[in-house]
Amino acid sequence: MTDFPPYQTIQATRQGRILTLTLNRPDKLNAVDKLMHRELCTVFHDAADDPHSDVIVFTGAGRAFSSGGDIVWMQEMIDTGFGQTAREAKRIINALLDCEKPVIAKLNGHATGFGATLALFCDVIFAAETAKIGDPHVSVGFTAGDGGAVIWPQLIGYARAKEYLMTGDLMTASEAARIGLINHAVPAEDLDDRVNAFAERLAGGAGVAIRTTKVSINIGLKQLAASIMDACLAMENMSNATSDHSEAVSAFAEGRTPKFTGR
């Protein structure tokens, strides 16, 4: 689209008053690398300011919504530091919470790690029944500090959130819908139609009332994020320097099981 700011890793398209943002690294299962992370900092601000749309659909290209952090980028952060990433992560979450337009997540495939965080900070979440969702930060020796610790307890309660975040286990979309983590799990072949119908319903509704209702609901969530994100990201920064995280990244790159030592 010539009238939307250009992005290299995120594709923007419009249908009527609906703007679709598509994570566009399908060959990497839309893993978030350094460039995509930086672009996520601004794309929701640009979408919020887009005069040609009232509703945003957020999805992924290919087989996945997003597989989380790119493993090559993880090694780079181990080598060069986590500070810039932490600052960007906070900006991304705040941008999603500040966007007044309804944001509908369309999980065409798996949403894991930071990919799950991005999806869960959207307003309404539809997923194909074939998709799985989870936040396996701990599986790579990483603190779930980039937003997962904020949003999971609000959606499914503290006990369930602790179980899933401390194990990194994935769940099916159907299970996620059953426990309230997402709104709807639908047959994959029906996903586009279901999301389009819901987006059109919002786009045809009382726009000011819909936007201000979202803003009102998000007040408490924004307060919560503001109160704990800095501490969560500081702990994620700490885990970035651990031996366990370095071992996990190396093991993933080498195709073997990591051997954790608790350090």
CATH code of the domain in which 92 resides? 3.90.226.10
CA separation, residue 58 to residues 12, 160, 205 (Å): 10, 26, 20
φ, ψ for residue 40 (rounded to 5)? -65, -25
Flag whether 198 is in a domain: no
Q: What share of the chain is helix, strand, coil (3-state, %, to 5)?
A: 55, 15, 30
Flag whether 244 is in a domain: yes
- Total domains in the chain come to 1
What stretch of H or E contains 104? strand 103-107
Q: How high is the pLDDT of residue 112?
A: 98
Flag whether 221 is in a domain: yes
Per-residue pLDDT of the chain (263 residues), as tens digits, is 679 999 999 999 999 999 999 999 999 999 999 999 999 999 999 999 999 999 999 999 999 999 999 999 999 999 999 999 999 999 999 999 999 999 999 999 999 999 999 999 999 999 999 999 999 999 999 999 999 999 999 999 999 999 999 999 999 999 999 999 999 999 999 999 999 999 999 999 999 999 999 999 999 999 999 999 999 999 999 999 999 999 999 998 899 999 999 99
Cα separation, 11 vs 22, in Å, equals 5
Burial of 75 (0-12, 13-18, 19+ CB in 10 A): middle
Flag whether 195 is in a domain: no
Cα separation, 23 vs 60, in Å, equals 5
Half-sphere exposure of 91 (CA within 13 A, CB side): 15
Domain span at residue 89 reads: 1-189+205-263
Flag whether 194 is in a domain: no
Contact 65, 108 (CB under 8 A): yes
**Helix pair angle (71-80, 243-254), 10° resolution:** 140
Q: How high is the pLDDT of residue 132?
A: 98
Sheet holding 103-107, edge to edge: 10-15, 18-23, 55-60, 103-107, 124-128, 184-186
Flag whether 197 is in a domain: no
Flag whether 232 is in a domain: yes
Q: How high is the pLDDT of residue 2?
A: 72
What the block records as the tokens of 254 is: 């080498």
Q: How high is the pLDDT of residue 171?
A: 98
Flag whether 251 is in a domain: yes
Question: What letter does residue 26 receive in the DSSP assignment?
Answer: G
Beta strands at 18-23 and 55-60: parallel, antiparallel or unpaired: parallel
Contact 23, 62 (CB under 8 A): no
